[in-house]
């Protein structure tokens, strides 16, 4: 990862929010990351004596050896979508159906509410994730009566 840990954490969080299932797929990743794939060489993990490291699965079982790092995805096999593709279209339809008007207000309220839940009510962290100041977040919490 070329950035810092906080940037990686934010990227993972945004990807999880955009994911349509419990698994983050390539299409759920932000466009800026997808554009950078293959532009940075990943380090090869090998012990000092040159021995090849084995891949270990989640149960600690060896599943083969690492031969070469894979740094690029085959362009023809990958279909990329914008972060606000189909998932957003579905959310928009549901908001229009449920609320008719003022859908921005309803969407913003729900996004703020879920972000606060995800970070355990930590307003500074939520404001950072949402890309707003803490003061703006406080105003929205009061506006939407999200205080506990």
Q: What's residue 87's pLDDT? A: 73
Q: What's residue 135's pLDDT? A: 93
Q: What gap in Å lies between CA 95 and CA 109, rounded to an integer?
A: 12
- The pLDDT profile of the chain, 148 residues, written as one tens digit per residue, is 666 777 777 777 777 777 777 777 777 777 766 666 555 444 444 444 444 444 444 555 545 444 444 444 444 333 444 455 677 777 778 878 888 888 888 889 989 999 999 999 999 999 999 999 999 999 999 999 998 6
CA 134 to centroid of chain Cα atoms: 21
pTM, two decimals, is 0.43
Which residues are CB-neighbours of 97 under 8 A, at least 6 positions away? none
Q: What gap in Å lies between CA 81 and CA 29, rounded to an integer?
A: 9
Calculate the dihedral angle through the C-alpha atoms of 139, 84, 90, 29, rounding to the nearest 10 degrees: -100
């Amino acid at each position: 990862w070329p950035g810092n840990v906080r940037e990686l954490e934010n990227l993972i969080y945004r990807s999880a929010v955009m994911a349509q299932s419990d698994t983050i797929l390539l299409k759920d990743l932000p466009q800026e990351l997808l554009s950078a794939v293959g532009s940075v060489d990943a380090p090869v993990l090998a012990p000092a004596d040159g021995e090849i490291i084995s891949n270990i699965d989640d149960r600690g079982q060896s599943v083969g050896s690492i031969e070469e790092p894979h740094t690029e995805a085959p362009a023809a096999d990958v279909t990329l979508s914008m972060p606000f593709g189909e998932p957003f279209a579905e959310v928009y339809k549901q908001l229009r159906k449920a609320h008719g008007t003022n859908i921005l207000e309803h969407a913003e309220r729900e996004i703020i509410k879920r972000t606060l839940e995800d970070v355990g009510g930590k307003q500074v962290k939520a404001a950072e994730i949402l890309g707003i100041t803490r003061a703006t977040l406080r105003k929205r919490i009061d506006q939407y009566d999200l205080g506990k």
